[in-house]
Amino acid sequence: MITAVDVIRRKRDGERLSDDEIRWVVDAYTRGAVAEEQMAALAMAIFLRGMDAAETATWTGAMIDSGERLSLRVDRPTVDKHSTGGVGDKITLPLAPLVATCGAAVPQLSGRGLGHTGGTLDKLESIPGWRAALSTEEIVRQLNTVGAVVCATTEGLAPADRKLYALRDVTGTVESIPLIASSIMSKKIAEGSAGLVLDVKVGSGAFMKTRAQAGELARTLVGIGTAHGVATTAVLTDMSTPLGRAVGNAVEVAEAVEVLRGGGPADVVALTVALAREMLALAGLSEVDPAAVLASGEAYETWARMIRAQGGDPAAPLPRPAHVHVVPAPASGVLSALDAYAVGVAAWRLGAGRARREDPVQAAAGVLCLAKPGDPVVYGEPLLELHTDTPEAVAGALEALEGAVRVSASAPPSASLVLETVRGR
């Protein structure tokens, strides 16, 4: 007979949990037969002792089995993308319609922002009329008619993960790589896509601060996907500087639309195309050139259909902030650093993000970066714009930005946005 106390003790003592023990404890916790304090103790034991690849794959499978799996009856190859979260990371917005335009079906079930990293659903909800909640039937219909859907995760997917995620958040066990990886992959595998590309961020604005941490997470994610029969690729990308020039909600939507129309910041375009290539390779569509499709503006038409299908008006004006505060350049020269984490915290404090999951966000809040590293700047000229509906929030945003900007006499060395690619066997 398996008991929660025995499972806790075995992991506490550094032993490997059997498949039966893992399946039992995840199922029992989901049903309420294992108490919160017992799962908290097990989560801490896992945090301290870790899990091997086989344990992690079984743990992921048990969380998938706690709920439903989507059955994607789609006549195109399916491929999804997930980002571990960054600052200015609006890549999903141009990427999903681009890959759909290239011939794949993209079921992008997304989340909301928490802390300094933005949420895709929060960004899209700045579009008048757009709705995040779709039924499984609506998701499948939209994949067949439009080719792409970005929406909230359905309630039936991996309920064990929702319960465990909330527990980890209040017990200091969030940073466990096996628990992070199984949390991400349980939802993504349950979505039913045949292929998955993971954008694993690394740097000051990312959850993983070091290349070593990000590499370990990437390999763990790919290993789980491979073990569950999902073609999986992980791409490590730099998050030391905000992506693009817009950080927030409506401002990021506006920048994504620029990219879809064939323009936009070079780094957003480059990463969108790089991830699209990986997605199309998994979908068996490597012969399509996503760079040419994006430059043509054709993907914008798919975007417009996607937004309309979810009740939004792609032509409607986006919300504007009630207050704009300009931050001047502190010196003349070349901008050599703009810290992603500091900018993300500033946007959060302006109202673009939330401290708790139930907090509201401001659609118009955020930061516009008028210069990026490598650009010349002039003392006293505008460097950043802080957007908010609550002017009293500006002081906290300015405090977050202290030390975030560095101006030098010469340009910084060029850095690669894509650091490493990990592919499944």
The pLDDT, as a whole number, for residue 117 is 83
Question: In the CATH hierarchy, which top-level class contains the domain 79-155+164-315?
Answer: alpha beta
Tell me if 58 sits within 8 A of 178, measured CB to CB: no
Per CATH, which fold does 323-408 belong to? Aldehyde Oxidoreductase; domain 3 (3.90.1170)
Question: 124: closest CA among 369, 346, 267, 311?
Answer: 311
CA–CA dist 7, 322 (Å, integer): 54
CATH architecture of 4-50: Up-down Bundle (1.20)
Q: Sign of the CA dihedral 383, 201, 151, 157?
A: negative
Q: Is the pLDDT of residue 295 over 90?
A: yes
- Find where tokens 């003392």 sit: 379
Q: Which amino acid is at 397?
A: A
Which residue in the list 183, 186, 204, 336 is annotated as catalytic?
A: 183
As a whole number of Å, the CA-based R_g of the chain is 22
Q: pLDDT tens across 36-92, in order?
A: 999 999 999 999 999 999 999 999 999 999 999 888 889 999 999 999 999 999 999
Q: pLDDT tens across 373-399, in order?
A: 999 999 999 999 999 999 999 999 999
The pLDDT, as a whole number, for residue 114 is 67
Q: Which amino acid is at 232?
A: T
14: left (phi over 0), alpha (psi -120 to 50) or beta: left
Q: Under 8 Å CB-to-CB from 299, ≥6 apart: which residues?
A: 94, 97, 98, 100, 101, 260, 293
Q: What percent of the chain has pLDDT over 70?
A: 99
Which residue in the list 187, 228, 349, 387 is annotated as catalytic?
A: 187
Which residue in the list 11, 23, 81, 82 is annotated as catalytic?
A: 82
Concerning whether 187 is annotated as a catalytic residue, the answer is yes
Concerning whether 82 is annotated as a catalytic residue, the answer is yes
Which residue in the list 11, 123, 162, 168 is annotated as catalytic?
A: 168
Concerning whether 19 is annotated as a catalytic residue, the answer is no
Spans of all domains in the chain: 4-50, 79-155+164-315, 323-408
Q: pLDDT tens across 154-185, in order?
A: 888 899 998 998 888 788 898 899 999 999 99
The pLDDT, as a whole number, for residue 239 is 97
CA–CA dist 337, 420 (Å, integer): 22
146 in helix, strand or coil?
Answer: coil
Q: What are phi and psi of 373, to 5 degrees?
A: -50, 130
Token pair of 333 as six digits: 């020269």
pLDDT, average across residues 207-226: 95
- Neighbouring C-beta atoms of residue 89, cutoff 10 Å: 31
Which residue in the list 80, 89, 122, 161 is annotated as catalytic?
A: 161
Concerning whether 112 is annotated as a catalytic residue, the answer is no
Residue 317 buriedness (CB in 10 A; 0-12 / 13-18 / 19+) = exposed
Concerning whether 168 is annotated as a catalytic residue, the answer is yes
